Amino acid sequence: MGLGLILSACAAPQYDPETQVNVYSARHYDVDQAILADFDETTGINVNLIEGTAAELLVRLEREVDDPVADVFITVGAESLSQALSSEVLAELPELEGLEFVPETLKGDHWVALTQRARVIVYDKTVTTPTLSTYTELADPMYKNQILVRSSTSSYNLALVSDLIQRNGLSLTATWAKGLVANFARIPTGNDRDQAKAVVAGLGQYAIMNTYYLSLLANSSDPAEVAVSEKLGVIFPQGTHVNLSWAGIVKRAKNPEAAKTLVEYLLSTDIQTRYTTLNGEYPVRSDVEPSDFLKALGTFTAYPVGYERLGDKTLEALALFDAVRWP
């Protein structure tokens, strides 16, 4: 059948409770398009996909709470969890096939993680012998003009700093962020992939980026990006920050059985394997191994993030960005 339709954040699908499921998604990846198309083909349930940012879609869910359009909400970033839970737009999860393989830290009464991505430090291994092992050391004056990272508008940096506030407190995190900004090699620009390219180009010694971008570089159709990936070394900081993609079924969903079927499909071993091999994300099922590429990066210990409360630190993180002048 193929993917039913992709709508802007202001359009609404037609309801057919027998054959449709309406999805709000902030995951904008080719692999997701293919997975939803395969779900349609496999189950006969047509997917009406409405894309937007997590913030846009959450506002819409709140506005529609008494008469929802969406059946399933999918997003990147656990920092949006607290808003979704406090606004009570998510239904309690039913018994889901495969849920027993998801660790308790990666699920709640109203949500379940779909993928994980670690925020790491990379360097050019052809020229640098790494001398740091923590996020804290990135702010050491010895690395002045050597740190590359994207702007403070990045949700990845918002989540990282919110996590650091959650674990270390606002004062210590602000001191760290001030030191980090003082060490910037340039005004933050571009995405994570661009930080990696800048390291290899010699514009800085260390860059902060998400692991799935490393996989995207290594599997790029552009030989220059593959060449960049081959030069990168990876540091998993002590207490590595790991963020999530997650899904929930919308409260009062008009197609709850179709919604349940879709979330179970996304948690299946086949789809978890596709997430890790095709998009470079870590699976959430304990019985699915990371891709060979990710395993080759090394092992790490993830810091135990309080995902449901991570978003409570967002306003503090935004104020911190302004205070330390992180562009």
Provide the CATH number for the domain around residue 46.
Answer: 3.40.190.10
The structure's pTM equals: 0.92
Same domain, residue pair 107 and 124: no
Same domain, residue pair 201 and 191: yes
Question: 182 CB contacts (<8 Å, ≥6 apart)?
Answer: 139, 141, 144
Q: Which of 94, 89, 116 is nearest to 105 (CA)?
A: 116
Same domain, residue pair 96 and 123: no
Same domain, residue pair 276 and 234: no
What is the span of the domain harbouring residue 252? 5-115+242-291
Q: Phi first, then psi: give them for residue 148, nearest 5 degrees.
A: -115, 135
User: What is the structure's pLDDT at 111?
Assistant: 98
pLDDT tens digits along 19-45 = 899 999 999 999 999 999 999 999 999
Q: Find where tokens 């606002």 sit.
A: 170
Question: 95 CB contacts (<8 Å, ≥6 apart)?
Answer: none
DSSP helix/strand/coil, 43:
helix
CB atoms within 10 A of CB 142: 9
Tell me how far CA of residue 149 lies from CA of 180, 197, 209, in angstroms.
10, 11, 7
User: What is the structure's pLDDT at 62?
Assistant: 98
Same domain, residue pair 110 and 141: no
Same domain, residue pair 218 and 247: no
Q: Phi first, then psi: give them for residue 194, nearest 5 degrees.
A: -65, -30
User: What is the structure's pLDDT at 12?
Assistant: 44
Mean pLDDT of 289-315: 97
Same domain, residue pair 128 and 234: yes
From CA 18, how far away is CA 21, in angstroms rounded? 9
Q: Phi first, then psi: give them for residue 72, nearest 5 degrees.
A: -135, 140
Residue type, 198: A
Same domain, residue pair 124 and 110: no
pLDDT tens digits along 61-99 = 999 999 999 999 999 999 999 999 999 999 999 999 999
Bridge partner residues of 244 (DSSP): 116
Same domain, residue pair 123 and 171: yes
| 13: pLDDT strictly greater than 80 | no
Tell me how far CA of residue 122 lies from CA of 28, 152, 196, 229, in angstroms.
25, 19, 7, 10
Mean pLDDT of the chain: 94
pLDDT tens digits along 173-183 = 999 999 999 99
Same domain, residue pair 277 and 319: no
Record the tokens describing residue 167, joined without a space: 């674990």
DSSP helix/strand/coil, 148:
strand
Count of structural domains, the chain: 2
Same domain, residue pair 74 and 131: no
Same domain, residue pair 221 and 158: yes
Q: Which of 325, 156, 152, 120 is nearest to 240 (CA)?
A: 120
Q: Are 22 and 70 in contact (CB under 8 A)?
A: yes
